[in-house]
Structure 1
């Protein structure tokens, strides 16, 4: 019998990349992370990717959850929680610790651990400490699993507003006036810490913004208009982080710009403007996520201003050695200069968030944005960056 008459075995289809979407976490931004995960899960192309949703409860337990994005939205002004999805949790999830083995394991008391298969890439959509700050990124580096977004150092710098500003300044980016109150300083010499704040006010006036140094989504931030509100603002910030950042108010227009990693390097989106919310003292958590104060996309800027803020956004991305994505936030002062306020290495990624809206206006849809981020992560290997 000739070879062409032999029965042909069916051609094996290539395995689709397996994506673990990790969300929730121990930070005060747990709920927004769940909302973001719901949007990402809904956008993932199931013909291109296998999906493994992993939720981290508010006490830090890793759990296998149902693939149910419709249950992960803000309802009645309340954000969802991994803990609220208790009936969908099937057991504890353990990532590999051997870079040669990417198999995820499900473990349950009294049962033999069950292999869930290999993971090719992780899409972490955790915000704040224990997720956005380099801790999860370090775990994934040890596991040898590629992941979306910045590495350990860039994530840590991007989470700590003090060191972020120090890096920006060292690269020649203009930052606003601020002082930092560290935990030991507050515990040992609180009067000296208050004098630092008084000096900042004496030079730049009221109002000031008192912030947790390592938090996001405007959680724990207070706009202080006069001396009587300072102590309460400091207590609120310390409730979220023992390290406090106190900033002088920047007068000007609030401008944001998205940065996305393409094959040929990072590019900036069209910028957006955040107008002052009518019902809020500033663009706080409620204005962002509950009342959904709309931004203006694209921002009404001149061509020169738009080009400049896009250039500065990419410069900030490169200064911190970021990867994947960043949202860069600026103020455009009355003098026409841009002052960078901060970057977010894992920015809000819900359908109403400004980062995807800016890229949609730039010609990149939400689903394409998710795909580009995953492809960029798959192109990279873990290791020193």
Structure 2
């Protein structure tokens, strides 16, 4: 089978994407597939698997790197040569974390070309990418969610009196994004408006003090839970991708009743957002002050790096990384 692995791209999660593409590409090549890695943010478009990093560097790409990647994407990915390469492939394996690789735009383009691709359909990805919309859908399914506020660029404290008056810590993150990019914890609601860079809409949530639990879902089936114990109050980029940056226990040390509740909540949440039997996702929870697992967000394109949570959960279920990749391909065809 000829598989086109899409990795890299133009967003802040570019390095995460390259690491995922590296591991996936090598694994599929070792399984006997013909693998081409396409980096839409590279001037050459096609890159060598052996030149890709196996792990994620503890930095975000520089503005210059992202500018160059945007130019390469504009000039190359939608070219006739690239389009023909997409049409000749048997399937596109999407490892493009963030931005157009995760918000439904790439999926829609592939669907328009008639190219099969791994992951959820375009409309589901667009829904999951919007943290506010996905939270409201999950809440309508009866799943507990954190109290939240939407703060737009130019908003003032007087526009959000209940947030401004909140004395407890809150978590601030972009309403669109992943890999914990841009996530910060501030001491109270008023401090949200002291954040220097507010050029994008933010979702502000009450800080949930309990355990963090994540549930991966493949083909509407839950995998074993993972508990995350971060070295700081929130599970940030460094803790997520640095070896030893967080303690990740899989299977999570919880009783069967707790596991059943969280897994059922994950299935209900993923269904409410639109994931189906041909897709996969990761649903993140954190316990509130009463110990109730509360929905944080959905990830339509979980990482596939050496330290990612989905492969760990799959391994706990007896599914090797190679078997996981092949399963994601099989269900998409």
* Bucket of the pairwise TM-score, normalised by the shorter protein: 0.7 to 0.9
8 Å CA contact retained: 1:274, 1:295: yes
Q: Give yes or no for the alignment of 1:293 onto 2:246.
A: yes
2:209 pairs with one of 226, 251, 259? 251
Indicate the residue corresponding to 2:33 in structure 1.
49
Residue 115 to residue 53, structure 1, CA distance change in 2 (3 Å): closer
Displacement of 1:156: 0.8
1:271 matches 2:225: yes
Work out which of the residue numbers 30, 46, 56 in structure 2 matches 1:64. 46
Aligned with residue 36 of structure 1, among 3, 11, 20: 20
C-alpha deviation, 1:77, in angstroms: 3.9
1:206 to 168, 193, 196: 168
Q: 1:158 aligns with which of 101, 123, 128?
A: 128
Q: CA deviation at 1:309?
A: 0.9
Unpaired stretches in structure 1, ≥5 consecutive residues: 1-16, 97-103, 108-113, 379-385
CA drift at 1:39: 1.0
Change (3 A) 1:79 1:46: farther
In structure 1, distance between residues paired with 2:157 and 2:287:
34
1:76–1:178: structure 2 CA closer, same or farther, 3 Å change rule? closer
Which residue pairs with 1:308 in the alignment? 261
Instruction: Tell me the distance in 2 between the aligned counterparts of 1:41 and 1:351.
Output: 13
What is the aligned length? 323
Structure 2: runs of 5+ lacking an equivalent: none
More helix by share: 2
Matched residue of 1:24: which SS? coil
| Residues 336-351 of structure 1 mapped to structure 2, 5 A cutoff | 336-351=291-306
User: Which of residues 228, 231, 241 in structure 1 aligns to 2:193?
Assistant: 231
Distance 1:283 1:140, change over 3 A: same
**Higher alpha-carbon Rg:** 1
Question: What is the aligned counterpart of 1:260 among 218, 227, 251?
Answer: 218
Deviation at 1:121, TM superposition (A): 0.8
When residues 75 and 139 of structure 1 are mapped into structure 2, their CA distance, relative to the original with a 3 A threshold, is: closer
CA shift at 1:153, angstroms?
A: 1.4
TM-score by length of 1: 0.76
Greater CA drift, 163-172 or 48-57: 48-57
SS at match of 1:317: helix
Partner of 2:182: 220
State whether structure 2 residue 118 is matched by structure 1 residue 136. Answer: no
CA distance in 2, matches of 1:223, 1:270: 28
1:86-136 per-residue CA deviation (whole Å, 9 max, x = no partner) reads 9xx9xx75569xxxxxxx8259xxxxxx86871111111111211100011
Q: Secondary structure at the match of 2:235?
A: coil
> Cα offset for 1:80?
8.2
8 Å CA contact 2:8–2:15 kept in 1: the answer is yes
1:276, CA displacement in angstroms?
A: 3.3
What are the within-5 Å matches in structure 2 for residues 2-21 of structure 1?
A: 17-21=1-5
Q: Answer yes or no: is 1:330 the counterpart of 2:285.
A: yes
Q: Which residue in the other structure is 1:121 paired with?
A: 91
Q: Which has the higher contact order (CA 8 A, sep 6+)?
A: 2
Q: CA distance change for structure 1 residues 289 and 159 in 2, over 3 Å: closer, same or farther?
A: same
* TM-score, normalised with respect to structure 2: 0.87
Q: Secondary structure at the match of 1:349?
A: coil
Tell me the C-alpha RMSD between the 2 structures.
2.8
- 1:290-309 residue CA offsets vs partner (Å, 9 max, x unmatched): 35323011111111001111
- Change in CA separation of 1:94 and 1:193 when aligned onto 2, cut-off 3 Å: same
